Chain A
């Protein structure tokens, strides 16, 4: 069931990033006309997208616009019905499951906690793809990685605790720690900040951005919170009805008419310190202003509105 680890992982680049030298930015994953549907419901409908290493891309869009499905497609957890997912320029279907498992981390917002597991047991599961099937306990290397991830995220004191004894903020850090314990080249997070207060939200995004920079990893985060997205993402892909409606730097995407139309609410962008742009969604005005119709599930027929090169 487990493949041996002798084969080269999808990204040949040094995951640690060569110290001093500017790591090479390149396309880690490319989706080409990807389609996926659940029965008759098209969840992702012809998405073409490049995901760059060293960058944080945010997926935003209304509920049911296909963000989670897109993440699953990127992680090869589901296979596209049409179109191709390229990992490092090679069709993802040509990799062995073990290779994908070692290079990609995908983490969900909900963690079932019916049986008592300690935080360390959970984080160590991320090292399984690096172990041989017959290896019963963790190697020193596994423990060293977990140790350093726990230090980075400040959760060393939580490792001994049971998952059901952690607060939402603590649990989310543990979930991120598990995702990072693979030292993935591609980190995919579905709503990592769903249950967090503002400060924890910022801290989680800070960790994620730092990871992308330091390890030259590609990071894709699905977010509902436009405010956080505008602060921490290098680029934003706005989804609507299974398609990419707009793609570009947060300031451009959020100030565009497309964003307002997709969400059906007004979005104000505020410039702070001359450089930082914050997106603030506005509540719908009763009886006026916006066209009011909430058309999140509408499929944009035109090709995505692409703002200046997202990777620059």
Chain B
């Protein structure tokens, strides 16, 4: 029985991974074809495969591909960060935004930009600052919750407090900065891929590629599985609980910081993607849910980015922030999965 269940679980994992990769590829194709000048999917394909491709189309595609790639990467990063934070807090409500890290990352970035606007132009600087801000936010939330006794919901509530405070702070700072920014300041508060440059892909790809390597080398997925059943349970399996949670939070904050520095705060992906992966796979095993979350987060973000572009196109009122669309698009799907898994 153990064999059968384990084999079936693994088969399900590989099937789901393959289908999500396929879905992501299709969504990315759609994302390349939608925009102010619509390019038929057939033409996108022929351009990508090196076949016949007009110069204008090639130019538009290369610009659009940057946006698509950034959406794929940022979505995956937020999803992994969310899954890690849900593990660290043992709470299904946690994500980078709710625990306050996104807001403190943006607040740190805005404060730095207020001192020297050049910070925003240097991605390595802005990513470092946003990462430091995210770590600070995490430690602030955990310290408040520890002072409060550390029980139950206290981490989430302290996170909400930190998040609310620093959302406000970053709003004020960005408001003060707005005439010196290239893009409307709302974009940073609600996320947008409209201002990204080609080199941003690298700045996102490096942390995203490093994180699975780090997580694997440290054995984090298994450690988080054990940690889910209590501090003592993990300790009797030989894990050092403090180390496991701090390292996981470190990786989560790095991913959050990098994504905030490049696309601003995109909400909901970090919360929803881990749940989507759990409901699809039927387990919370982090070895399964971390990769599936990344794929689900990427798909959700690319789809939302495409929808945002389509809305911009139809309304002709300027760019729609990405974070707004991820919620509108993702929430009904999450609700559907909740109902379905509740019945199953």
Q: Which residues of A contact B (CB under 8 A)?
A: 1-3, 72, 75, 77, 97-98, 100-102, 104-108, 110-112, 114-118, 120-122, 124-126, 128-129, 131, 133-134, 136-138, 143, 146-147, 150, 156-157, 159-160, 162
Sample of 10 further A-B pairs with CB below 8 A, known A147-B1, A147-B3:
A1-B243, A2-B219, A72-B232, A104-B236, A108-B230, A111-B233, A114-B228, A117-B283, A134-B217, A137-B287
Q: Are B232 and A106 in contact (CB under 8 A)?
A: yes
Are A133 and B218 also in contact (CB < 8 A) when A118-B282, A128-B237 are? yes
Q: Are A1 and B218 in contact (CB under 8 A)?
A: yes
Ordered by A's residue number, 5 sampled pairs between the chains whose C-beta atoms are within 8 Å are A1-B219, A72-B232, A101-B238, A146-B2, A157-B1
Q: Are B233 and A108 in contact (CB under 8 A)?
A: yes
Say yes or no: is B278 at the interface (Cβ < 8 Å to chain A).
yes
Q: Are B229 and A111 in contact (CB under 8 A)?
A: yes
Q: Are B91 and A114 in contact (CB under 8 A)?
A: yes
Task: Determine the residue in chain A with the shortest Cβ distance to B247.
Answer: A1
Q: Which of A77, A98, A111, A117 contacts B284 (CB 8 A)?
A: A117
Which of A1, A3, A108, A117 has the most C-beta atoms of chain B within 10 angstroms of its own C-beta? Answer: A1
Q: Are B283 and A75 in contact (CB under 8 A)?
A: no
Q: Which of A1, A108, A112, A137 contacts B10 (CB 8 A)?
A: A137
CA distance in complex: A110, B231 (Å): 12
Enumerate B164-222 residues with CB–CB distance to A below 8 Å: 216-219, 221-222
Residues of A within 8 A of B126 (CB): none
Q: Are A143 and B6 in contact (CB under 8 A)?
A: yes
Enumerate B261-304 residues with CB–CB distance to A below 8 Å: 278, 282-285, 287
Q: Which of B90, B225, B232, B278 contacts A125 (CB 8 A)?
A: B225
Are A114 and B232 also in contact (CB < 8 A) when A134-B217, A137-B287 are? no
Q: Are A134 and B216 in contact (CB under 8 A)?
A: yes
Residues of A within 8 A of B244 (CB): 1
Residues of B within 8 A of A118 (CB): 5, 9, 282-283, 285
B238-259 interface bits toward A, Cβ cutoff 8 Å, 1 = contact, 0 = none = 1110011000000000000000
Query: Nearest 4 pairs between A and B by C-beta?
Result: A101-B238, A156-B1, A133-B219, A147-B2
Task: Determine the residue in chain B with the shortest Cβ distance to A147.
Answer: B2
Residues of B within 8 A of A138 (CB): 6
Q: Are B232 and A108 in contact (CB under 8 A)?
A: yes
Q: Which of B6, B217, B238, B285 contacts A98 (CB 8 A)?
A: B238
Q: Are B1 and A159 in contact (CB under 8 A)?
A: yes
Task: Determine the residue in chain B with the shortest Cβ distance to A106.
Answer: B236
Say yes or no: is B223 at the interface (Cβ < 8 Å to chain A).
yes
CA distance in complex: A101, B221 (Å): 18
Residues of A within 8 A of B10 (CB): 137
CA distance in complex: A137, B291 (Å): 14
Residues of A within 8 A of B284 (CB): 115-117, 121
Q: Which of B218, B225, B236 contacts A101 (CB 8 A)?
A: B236
CA distance in complex: A169, B285 (Å): 24
Task: Determine the residue in chain A with the shortest Cβ distance to B219.
Answer: A133
CA distance in complex: A108, B239 (Å): 17
Distance between A41 CB and nearest chain B CB, rounded to angstroms? 17
Q: Are A1 and B223 in contact (CB under 8 A)?
A: yes
CA distance in complex: A75, B129 (Å): 43
Q: Which of A100, A134, A156 contacts B238 (CB 8 A)?
A: A100
Q: Are A115 and B232 in contact (CB under 8 A)?
A: no
Residues of B within 8 A of A106 (CB): 232, 236
Distance between A261 CB and nearest chain B CB, rounded to angstroms? 32
CA distance in complex: A210, B278 (Å): 37
Q: Are A101 and B2 in contact (CB under 8 A)?
A: no
Task: Determine the residue in chain A with the shortest Cβ distance to B235.
Answer: A77
Residues of A within 8 A of B228 (CB): 112, 114-115, 117
Residues of A within 8 A of B90 (CB): 112, 114-115
Q: Are A117 and B237 in contact (CB under 8 A)?
A: no
CA distance in complex: A114, B152 (Å): 11
Distance between B235 CB and nearest chain A CB, rounded to angstroms? 5
Distance between B230 CB and nearest chain A CB, rounded to angstroms? 6
Q: Are A77 and B236 in contact (CB under 8 A)?
A: yes
Distance between B163 CB and nearest chain A CB, rounded to angstroms? 21
Task: Determine the residue in chain A with the shortest Cβ distance to B238.
Answer: A101
Enumerate B1-22 residues with CB–CB distance to A below 8 Å: 1-3, 5-6, 9-10
Are A111 and B230 also in contact (CB < 8 A) when A117-B284, A160-B5 are? yes
Q: Are A121 and B283 in contact (CB under 8 A)?
A: yes
Q: Are A121 and B240 in contact (CB under 8 A)?
A: no
Residues of B within 8 A of A125 (CB): 222, 225-226, 229, 233, 237
Residues of B within 8 A of A100 (CB): 238
CA distance in complex: A196, B160 (Å): 39
